Amino acid sequence: MGTLLPVAQKGEGVLALKASVISQAEFNSQWLYQLTEAMHATMLERNGVGIAAPQVYISKRVIIVASKPNPRYPDAPEMSPIIMINPEIVWMSEQENLGEEGCLSVQNERGSVRRANEIQVHYFDLDGTKFELRLSGFPARIVQHEVDHLNGILFVERLSE
């Protein structure tokens, strides 16, 4: 296992900031590779299905999405982790669904959040190649949760009933 990073907890300032974009100069850099490697190791160690850089005290627009089946979402697809740099949700379906969420930055709390069923997301990989991806269900939920982290929002601010 690689470098493990401490995870910021609810109430810490870094989680409330709007994270800054990764610049051209940072693509393909050793620092970005090392950051995503350490984020990935930290996510695995905590048994997460996603992670955003602000959760490890780096206020930059970097997320990892790694859906896998779990007791709450037994039919979730098993995805190889996708590193998304500067992700932008460019379209969301009007149809929404209610689903349970947890957060590595909010210990011992889970709750129901309404999210779009389907999204289209644009992002760059570590080399700076642009991708466009349509996701639905649990993977779409994870992306929405992680992009919220980049905008300083925690799922507890979105709880439904």
**Which positions lie near ligand K1U, rule CB under 6 A?**
47-52, 70, 72-73, 100-105, 110, 141-142, 145-146
Give 98 or 129: the residue with its C-beta nearer to ligand K1U: 98
Q: How many CB atoms lie within 10 A of CB 67?
A: 23
Q: Which amino acid is at 129?
A: T
Q: Is 88 helix (H, G, I), strand (E, B) or coil?
A: strand
| Contact characters 79-118, Zn ion, x per CB under 5 A | ------------------------x---------------
**Local structure of 158: helix, strand or coil:** helix
Whether the Cβ atoms of residue 126 and residue 86 lie closer than 8 Å to each other: no
Q: Which does 101 bind (CB under 5 to 8 A by kind): Zn ion, ligand K1U, none?
A: ligand K1U
Alpha-carbon distance 136 to 118, whole Å? 4
Active site residues: 146
Task: Using CB under 5 A, list all residues that contact Zn ion.
Answer: 103
